[in-house]
Amino acid sequence: MRRAGAIATWTSAAALLLAACGSGGSAGADNTDGPVRIGVLTALSGAAAAHYADTESGVKARLAAYEAAGGKCASRGFDVIMGDDQSTPQGALTAAQRLVQQKHVYAVLPVSTYFYGAGQYAGTRAGGTPFLGGAFDGGEQWFDPKYDNLFPAMSGTDYDRAATTLGVYWKKLGGTKVAVVAYNTPSSAKAAEGAALSAEHAGLGRGYVNERIPFGSSDVGAIVLGIKKSGADVLYAPVIPETGFALATGLRRAGVEMKSILLATGYGADLLKSPPTLKVAQGVGFMTSYAPVETDTAATRAWSAALKKYGGSASGIPSFSQAVGWISADLLLHGLEKAGCTASQEELMSALRADRTWTAGGLFPKPADFADKGSYSVGGPGDCTFVSLLEGEKFVPDPAGAPACGERIPGVKVAVE
């Protein structure tokens, strides 16, 4: 999920803006009097805004639940300041600078597809400010050993590596041959290739492979035919749900019986609100790095209840952006409790770098390790992913993927031709 070229594109823009705005420091952000100032970087406008409409509610719901529970640092109080990335890398850079240099936030929670546009700035000129959030934008900043202030609350996946996770999962389902379909982007293509390598490591054959389809494509007739001819019985598609559902519909119409159709995204309340989508998504599996509420554990029951009470969720099932917002805020609260409620920014970061206990309140099956950048090859901590199947009008945890965990495959480097 790397975007080195994209980051380089914005280097000159960053330099110009920094020259205009001055230092990227956060003077005053370490003031321990009064509420903790939290910047949230997400899409409030532009093409991606609809997909991130619940980010703010996710962050605020976690903070409200913490205060209501009388959390250790609740007496500080919290001020949430939103930053709009405008659905562009340039917008992400501008918003990050505003939050750090003008609003003097204590920490930034990036929940943004375009955070890579601010990645170099975040790790260098804003290096004294903690950034804790979703590392799904593919920016090199999350893997740079020199950037000690970036902490992936979700993802943090190094797509140059492969894990045993998905191969073991498909083997349990009786899979014999894998098909992978991906967009012609580094993150999607490498995710697909990593899954194919995982399948082969588990003893499955390599069937149909197409890692070059146009982003957002729903013209999948030739792909369906290729999957059918290959004899593949499991499919992994790290694509947006619309493309994934087109594949599932096409395979069904072609009479192809698959043991698993697995999508990297799509779980959440948004899908359940759309009857047409429910019809075409039946039997499809959806991956999450966090435990879905349907696993019905103490942690997920508390999470679901809090989303209903504080997050405006009718179902208690989070959307993607709401989940990332909640989990990012939880990491900040965990860091404050470890470092001390009036800890400086550096003290907070030092505490997190040394910590091996954070599981997002039990939503992750294994704790995160922030000292090992890019420590996951698939899913989240411990190379674990949960799989939820859509059955009727609800998600049902797949027993083989509740969760599915693995380990890094030694000596394997993912490459896409």
- Amino acid, res. 185: T
In sign, the C-alpha dihedral spanning 144, 9, 117, 194 is negative
Give domain 165-291+381-405's CATH number out of 3.30.70.370, 3.10.28.10, 3.40.605.10, 3.40.50.2300: 3.40.50.2300
pLDDT for 416: 87
φ, ψ (nearest 5 deg) of residue 72: -50, -40
Let me know: does 167 contact 139? Beta carbons within 8 Å: no
- Domain positions in the chain are 4-157+305-354, 165-291+381-405
Tokens of 92: 């992400």
Tokens of 22: 């001055």
pLDDT for 12: 33
Let me know: does 331 contact 153? Beta carbons within 8 Å: yes
CATH H-level, domain 4-157+305-354: superfamily = Response regulator (3.40.50.2300)
Tokens of 160: 């140059």
**Domains 4-157+305-354 and 165-291+381-405 equal at CATH topology level:** yes
Residues of the chain predicted below pLDDT 70: 1-28, 30-32, 156, 374-377
Q: What residues have CB less than 8 Å from 332, skipping those under 6 apart?
A: 36, 38, 107, 109, 130, 132
pLDDT for 143: 85
pLDDT for 32: 64
295: exposed, middle or buried (C-beta count within 10 Å: 0-12, 13-18, 19+)?
Answer: middle
State the pTM of this model: 0.87
pLDDT for 13: 35
d(CA 248, CA 264): 14
DSSP H or E segment with residue 177: strand 177-183
Q: How many helices (H) and strands (E) does the chain have?
A: 13, 13
**Tokens 């208690």 identify what position?**
316
Angstrom distances, CA of residue 293 to CA of 27, 104, 167: 40, 35, 25
pLDDT for 378: 78
